[in-house]
Amino acid sequence: MINILLSVRRPFSGKILSGEKKWELRKNAPRLNKGDSVTLWLYESGKDGKRAIIGKCRLVVTASLYLYPPKGISELAIKNACVTEEHLRNYLPCYVWGVQDPVRISTVPLSDIGLTRPPQSWQYISPAQAAILERRIA
């Protein structure tokens, strides 16, 4: 089991936890082997965010999204990532992280898992840190 702490701003954090946002866009992706099971722990960042870990979901796929994706792919990305066409165009090239099975947890400060600051984008966390978070599932 691989555990990743993912920084996400509002309103995207809420859209992931509601199941509306099915794709997260990132500039890089973890290197995974076929069959790896990955849990994404959502840290809500930003000035309006809780600045704490608020939920989790499953990473089901990562894929490259190139500078000039076909029109159908662009439309899917806009819909599933909950972004505008302009945002997508300005962010390319990037990776699509497919997310499923969101679960809200009781708010957990980073200090509870031994961290002093959030990742800029994402970082791996240990099984022991993930076990602390699992105990907070609401």
Domain assignments of the chain as residue spans, ordered by start: 2-134
Q: Residue 93: its pLDDT value, please?
A: 96
Q: Which distant-in-sequence residues (6+ apart) come within 8 Å of 23 by Cβ? A: 77, 80, 81, 96, 97, 98, 99
Positions of the chain with pLDDT under 50: none
Tell me how far apart the alpha carbons of residues 10 and 38 are, in angstroms, rounded to a whole number: 23
For domain 2-134, give the fold. Answer: 2.30.130
Tell me how far apart the alpha carbons of residues 2 and 36 are, in angstroms, rounded to a whole number: 7
Do residues 138 and 63 make contact, with C-beta atoms less than 8 angstroms apart?
A: no
> Quick one: what percent of the chain has pLDDT higher than 90?
86
Tell me how far apart the alpha carbons of residues 29 and 64 are, in angstroms, rounded to a whole number: 9
Kindly report, residue by residue over 83-95, the tens digit of the pLDDT: 999 999 999 999 9
Kindly report, residue by residue over 59-88, the tens digit of the pLDDT: 999 999 988 888 889 999 999 999 999 999
